[in-house]
Amino acid sequence: MSIHHLKTPIKEEEIRRIRTGDLIFLSGTLVTARDDVHLRLVKQQDSLPIDLRDGAIFHAGPIMAASKDRPGRYEVISIGPTTSMRMERYEKEFIEQTGLRLIVGKGGMGRRTEEACAAHGCLHAVFPGGCAVLAASLVREVREVHWLELGMPEAMWVMEVENFGPLLVSIDAQGNNLFEQQKAIYNEKKEAELRALNAYIGEAFRI
Amino acid sequence: MNDVKEKLVDLLAQFTRLSSIRLPDDVLRKLHELSGSETSERARFFYDAMLADLDMASSLMRPCCQDTGIIQYFVEAGSKSPYLDLLEDALRQAVVLATDRTPLRHNCVEVFDEKNTGDNTGTRIPWIDWQVIPDNQDLSIYIYLAGGGCSLPGASKVLMPLEGYEGVLRFVFDQVTSYGINACPPLLLGIGIAGSAEVAAKLSKKALLRPIGSANGNERGHALEVKIEEAVNAIGIGPGGTGGAKSLLGVHVEQAGRHPATLAVGLSTACWAHRRAHIIIHPDLSWEMPTHQGAQL
């Protein structure tokens, strides 16, 4: 479990040094991008309003409040990661087309994301799910918002963060996938537990 | 009457707001207990963040999770409550008010129009489930903030009876190991067993409203709850899904009589940030919240 400090723009060689199970603290720019942003770029072939090359995205739909002191600006109230697996369908193309280096989310992602991370030098890392006030406390400033017409959760919120983390690396750029490795273990144990449970039910319920 | 309705709306809005900020007492107790049973570095990574987050949420009065869910109310309405006529509209108004005051995230997307309504109300939302309690004057209301992540593992299926309880368990365990991992464990599993898909599904959600660790009314039913909990914990999913000693807040099963030719099973899961709250409102608008001792509304 080594600890890495990354700052955007992130260099490919830094990404290549990191392994699953390591912890990351991110400083610089972090942009929210979830279902609709992926849909717009990959399926509807719109161009993104900002350049994500060597950047970091956050699978997150925050609660933002309009700033009372600064008109037109926003403050983050609560921002935790959302289920990354929902973006699996388009993440490979998203990585290819943007040149992104880091995806922050929750839970694992699948084979296609794994391939794109290895091919292009990108990582997937998790922030503990549900810990949204904790995450908000690590955001220094909400700089811009794009595509607000998609609604508060789906818009692209551009934030400045400082030591955002710890983030647990779940997919590295060497083809390792922490959640998939764990899932194989769980599935094996599941079969043994089900056999024992079925034996118990047969006996205790006489069915 | 308008004054009374305004008071009722305000009370329900404050109840809704608090449910997004503070977890119920039983869930908090269970999280501390589970946290104490973990020693691995990775499990600690998750629990340390969770407990720090809950403290910050309470002191800043902000929603502990950004996904404040689709708002669902389960009403057990006393047939003699003076508020029966007002309640449905009062709950809708309370949602709009709580969304603005807290603030809650905008989570209601109209189907077909695919537009977020921006105030958490919409077609049949907030979802309101009604049950009438005869000869009673109170309104007993449960709220559940149904987040996206913890709703994703939800499913129901009608099995053939000869698939037996083995079939029920296979369905539950497959859902939990494929989708439960990403649903913010430790999870509470709600399982419904009945004769058709929608009854099993509804009972599985109602099972989530029970206090953590409460027992199924049937002795065998409760034995099954305990056994399922032990078996799922033994799989080792852990907090956050990357391994650990315990993976569950609990297992609650609810049942209804089934058809001789069908065996339906439903599954609902609640994440560790299990935002459920219960309020009892008396005819004079005095109230109590059994889930949140010392709550101020």
The per-residue DSSP string of B210-247 comes to: SPTTPPPSSHHHHHHHHHHHHHHHHHT--GGGS--S--
Under DSSP, the state recorded for B123 is: T
Residue in A25, A137, A164, A190 to test binding to B, most B beta-carbons within 10 Å? A190
CB B264 within 8 A of CB B159: yes
Clarify whether residues A92 and A45 are in a common domain.
Answer: yes
Cβ burial of B112 (10 Å; 0-12, 13-18, 19+) is exposed
Average pLDDT over residues A5-32: 98
Alpha-carbon distance of B265 to B169, in angstroms, equals 9
Best mutation site among B67, B165, B232, B253 for testing chain A: the one with the most A CBs within 10 Å?
B67
Q: Write the residue in B149, B173, B234 that is nearest to A82 by C-beta.
A: B149
CATH number at A103 reads: 3.20.130.10
**Is A146 annotated in the active site?**
no
Catalytic residue among A38, A59, A120, A124: A38
Residue A87 is given by DSSP the state: G
CA–CA separation, A32 and A56 (whole Å): 9
pLDDT tens by residue, A67-98:
988 988 999 999 999 999 999 999 999 999 99
**Residue B164 in contact with partner chain A when CB distance is under 8 A:** yes
Give alpha helix (H) positions in B73-218.
84-101, 148-151, 164-178, 197-207
Same domain, A69 and A148: yes
Domain containing A182: what range? 177-207
Do A123 and A196 lie in a common domain? no
0.90 surpassed by complex ipTM: yes
**pLDDT tens for each residue of B201-223:** 999 999 999 999 999 999 999 99
Q: What amino acid is encoded at A90 in this protein?
A: Y
Contacts of B228 in chain A (CB under 8 A): 197
| pLDDT, position B2 | 79
pLDDT at A203: 85
> Pairing mode, if any, of strands A102-105 and A123-126?
parallel
Per domain, the residue ranges of chain B are 1-147+274-297, 150-270
| First-last CA distance in chain A | 48
pLDDT, tens digit, 9 for 90 and up, residues A26-45: 999 999 999 999 999 999 99
Mean pLDDT of B83-100: 98
Cβ–Cβ gap B106/A152 under 8 Å:
yes
Name the band, by pLDDT with cuts 50, 70 and 90, for residue A202: confident
Using CB atoms, which residue from B64, B106, B173 is nearest to A133? B64
Are residues A136 and A39 part of one domain?
A: yes
- Mind telling me how many Å the CA of B70 is from chain A's nearest CA? 13
Contacts of B66 in chain A (CB under 8 A): 60-63, 77-80, 132
| Confidence (pLDDT) at A204 | 81
Claim to verify: residue A151 and residue A181 sit in the same structural domain: no
Yes or no, beta carbons of B63 and A132 under 8 Å apart: yes
CB contact under 8 A, A190 and B50: no
Question: What is the reported pLDDT for B1?
Answer: 57
User: What is the domain count for chain A?
Assistant: 2
Which are the contacts of B156, defined by CB distance < 8 A and separation ≥ 6?
Answer: B192, B197, B198, B200, B201, B204, B264, B265, B266, B267
Chain A: nearest CA to B289, how far in angstroms? 24
Asked if A169 and A202 sit in the same domain, the reply is no
Structure confidence by residue, pLDDT tens digits, A131-185:
999 999 999 999 999 999 999 999 999 999 999 999 999 999 999 999 999 999 9
> Which residues of chain A lie closer than 8 angstroms to B234, CB-CB?
189, 193
Give residue for tokens 């030591």: A163
Q: Are B14 and B297 in contact (CB under 8 A)?
A: yes
Whether residues A31 and A103 share a domain: the answer is yes
Beta bridge partners of B193: B255, B265
CA distance B273 to chain A (A): 7
pLDDT (0 to 100) of residue A122: 98
Query: Is B62 part of the contact surface with chain A (CB cutoff 8 Å)?
Result: yes
Q: How high does pLDDT run on average in chain B?
A: 97
Compute how many other C-beta atoms are within 10 angstroms of the C-beta atom of residue B147: 28
Model pLDDT for residues B246-256, shown as the tens digit of each residue: 999 999 999 99
Distance from CA of B6 to the nearest CA of A (A): 25
At residue B211, the pLDDT reads 98
Find chain B residues with C-beta within 8 A of A78's C-beta. 57, 62-66, 105
A107 pLDDT band (50/70/90 cuts)?
very high
Is B277 a residue whose pLDDT tops 80?
yes
B118 vs A contacts (CB less than 8 Å) = 151-152
pLDDT of A205 reads 79
Q: What is the pTM of this model?
A: 0.94
SS3 call for B140: strand
Is the pLDDT at A113 greater than 60? The verdict is yes
Give whole-number Cα distances, A175 to A1, A93, A112, A170, in Å. Answer: 17, 17, 11, 10
Token pair recorded at residue A46 = 């719109």
CA distances from B251 to A51, A190, B247 (A): 46, 16, 11
Which pLDDT belongs to residue A148?
95
Question: Same domain, yes or no, for A15 and A88?
Answer: yes
Q: What is the pLDDT of residue A1?
A: 79
Q: pLDDT tens for residues B108-151?
A: 999 999 999 999 999 999 999 999 999 999 999 999 999 999 99
Contacts of B63 in chain A (CB under 8 A): 63, 77-78, 132-133
Residue A9, preceding bond cis, omega within 30 degrees? yes
Distance set, CA B59 to CA A132, B97, B295 (Å): 14, 21, 14
- Answer yes or no: do B241 and A78 touch at CB < 8 A: no
